[in-house]
């Protein structure tokens, strides 16, 4: 379905809702058949802006639930990623993501706070970053967004999303449910399972983000890039990339483009012949590479209703820890602490990129000037619920190394690696390795 139509569906689901009580058991209101999606009912869930009730305000989240309310295995909540992606538009991809499971589970999706029709929408930041995690935004765009959101930005971290999920579970009237989180949705699923392990039957993590909440300034992603390129075109290809980075000083842009390609073309040859472009650029011909970078940046152009960068910053800056500390750290001194941390990184750990790339990725540049806000508490306990992790070995957005890191933080986890696959293995992989593994796990 076209993106504009997906936005309309989410907006209609929000509009269908009425006003829920501000206290008591959460409820779904304004229920009506979902436009364009037979077999699903759209409703609205009202949640407090501040679950601690220190600040007034109500958010209305779009929810879509399958009509098979007596599904034998109960509810399966599909959690979308970003952060910043709405969930209701994922209905268009459900038949691709889940197969036989659709008969045994009641599938539910919802728009996380600050997404879809409720997007926070910071125009300058959205224009610069689109759907990218890694494109370095300007400090002015970041500051404008944090000023626009003001104190409200503290209520859009993952702990708030987890609290919303618990309200949704109660509104659905189920004691336990199964979670399937994709990309940042895997992080949300992990954090929910840590907070409410007795409420989770099974947990699927697709394209895994570890729940430790600690940035390494891109070191793992750099290593993953070298590994993936070696598997495609050998060590020469990795050397070509390193040479281009040294010459052009555009490591952050190259990493962004290669990461995007891992989502839409994990062969790295079909859309653009990356090995050839890197070889030509190393030889002094940058025409093809420049075209690739410009096209990748255009492909990232995305409205806030599809992936909201205001929410992206609000969540990641509060959730993660950086060289300057948490999101509560004062702005003064952050840049100096970042420089010192980058200077300490051994060059061998950065290859085929460099220190400038570590200091310039979008994660860092989005959160460095972000106005101080209370930090989301970290939770480094191990997951105790039955967990299946699936990850493509060509994924650079959530590299396989991250999945292995999260596997070590589970007590009942299994990792399935999908050869040649990139990001979001259930919905995008050519092979059925991930989908078969998920079906076996959920139906076993």
pLDDT digits (tens, 9 = 90+) for 235-283: 999 999 999 999 999 999 999 999 999 999 999 999 999 999 999 999 9
Within 10 angstroms of residue 336's Cβ, the number of other Cβ atoms is 11
Strands (E), 219-319: none
Q: What is the pLDDT of residues 154-194, one digit of tens each?
A: 999 999 999 999 999 999 999 999 999 999 999 999 999 99
- pLDDT score of 197: 98
Phi/psi region, residue 381 (left: phi>0; alpha: psi -120 to 50; beta: rest), is: beta
- pLDDT score of 214: 83
Cα(165)–Cα(87) distance, rounded to whole angstroms?
Answer: 12
- pLDDT score of 8: 35
Q: What is the pLDDT of residues 280-338, one digit of tens each?
A: 999 999 999 999 999 999 999 999 999 999 999 999 999 999 999 999 999 999 999 99
Task: Find the mean pLDDT for residues 41-66.
Answer: 97
For tokens 């596997």, the residue is: 407
Annotate 28-60 with DSSP letters as a single string. Answer: EEEEEEPTT-TTEEEEEEEEESSTTSSS--EEE
Within 10 angstroms of residue 3's Cβ, the number of other Cβ atoms is 12
Instruction: Look up residue 194 and give its two tokens.
Output: 């840590």
Annotate 64-110 with DSSP letters as a single string. Answer: EEES-TT-TT-EEEEE--TTT--SGGGGGGHHHH-STHHHHSEEEEE
Radius of gyration of the chain (CA): 21
Cα(413)–Cα(437) distance, rounded to whole angstroms?
Answer: 13
Residue among 305, 304, 303, 302 at smallest CA distance from 10: 305
Inform me whether the pLDDT recorded for 6 exceeds 70. no
Q: Do 155 and 112 touch, CB atoms closer than 8 A?
A: no
Residue among 185, 252, 224 at smallest CA distance from 389: 185
CA neighbours closer than 13 Å in the CB half-sphere of residue 243: 16
Q: What structural domains does the chain harbor?
A: 3-120+156-213+378-443 (3.40.50.1820), 219-319+322-367 (no CATH)
Instruction: Look up residue 363 and give its two tokens.
Output: 């994660």
Cα(231)–Cα(229) distance, rounded to whole angstroms?
Answer: 5
Residues forming a β-bridge with 33: 41
For tokens 């806030």, the residue is: 304
Inform me whether the pLDDT recorded for 10 exceeds 90. no
pLDDT band at 1 (very low <50, low <70, confident <90, very high): very low
What's the Cα-to-Cα distance from 368 to each of 18, 273, 333, rounded to whole Å? Answer: 39, 34, 10
Inform me whether the pLDDT recorded for 2 exceeds 70. no
SS3 157: coil
């Amino acid at each position: 379905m076209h993106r504009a139509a997906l936005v309309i569906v989410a907006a209609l689901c929000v509009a269908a809702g009425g006003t829920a009580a501000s206290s008591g058991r959460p409820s779904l209101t304004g229920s009506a058949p979902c436009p364009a999606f037979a077999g699903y009912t759209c409703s609205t869930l009202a949640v407090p802006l501040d679950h601690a009730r220190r600040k007034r305000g109500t958010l209305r989240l779009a929810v879509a639930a399958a009509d098979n309310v007596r599904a034998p295995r109960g509810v399966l909540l599909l959690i979308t990623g970003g952060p910043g992606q709405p969930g209701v538009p994922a209905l268009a991809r459900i038949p691709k993501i889940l197969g036989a499971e659709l008969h045994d589970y009641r599938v539910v999706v919802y728009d996380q706070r600050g997404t879809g029709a409720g997007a926070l929408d910071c125009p300058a930041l959205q224009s610069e970053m689109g759907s990218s995690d890694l494109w370095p935004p300007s400090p002015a765009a970041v500051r404008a967004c944090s000023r626009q959101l003001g104190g409200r930005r503290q209520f859009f971290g993952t702990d708030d999303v987890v609290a919303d999920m618990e309200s949704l579970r109660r509104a659905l009237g189920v004691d336990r449910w199964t979670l399937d989180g994709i990309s940042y949705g895997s992080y949300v699923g992990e954090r929910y399972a840590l907070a409410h392990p007795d409420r989770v039957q099974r947990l699927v993590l697709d394209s895994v983000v570890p729940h430790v909440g600690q940035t390494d300034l891109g070191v793992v992603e750099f290593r993953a890039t070298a590994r993936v390129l070696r598997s495609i075109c050998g060590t020469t290809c990795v050397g070509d990339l390193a040479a281009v980075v040294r010459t052009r000083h555009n490591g952050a842009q190259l990493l962004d483009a290669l990461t995007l390609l891992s989502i839409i073309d994990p062969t790295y040859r079909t859309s653009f012949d990356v090995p050839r472009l890197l070889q030509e650029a190393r030889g002094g011909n940058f025409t093809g590479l420049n075209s690739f970078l410009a096209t990748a940046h255009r492909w990232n152009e995305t409205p806030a209703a599809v992936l909201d960068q205001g929410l992206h910053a609000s969540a990641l800056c509060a959730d993660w820890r950086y060289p300057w500390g948490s999101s509560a750290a004062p702005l003064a001194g952050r840049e100096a602490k970042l420089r010192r941390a980058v200077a300490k990184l051994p060059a061998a750990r950065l290859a085929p990129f460099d220190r400038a790339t570590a200091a310039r990725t979008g994660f860092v540049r989005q959160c460095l000037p972000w106005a101080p806000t209370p930090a989301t508490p970290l939770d480094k306990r191990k997951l105790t619920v039955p967990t299946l992790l699936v990850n493509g070995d060509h994924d650079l957005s959530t590299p396989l190394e991250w999945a292995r890191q999260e596997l070590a933080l589970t007590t009942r986890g299994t990792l399935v690696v999908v050869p040649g696959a990139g990001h979001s293995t259930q919905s995008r992989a050519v092979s059925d390795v991930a989908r078969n593994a998920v079906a076996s796990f959920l139906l076993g």
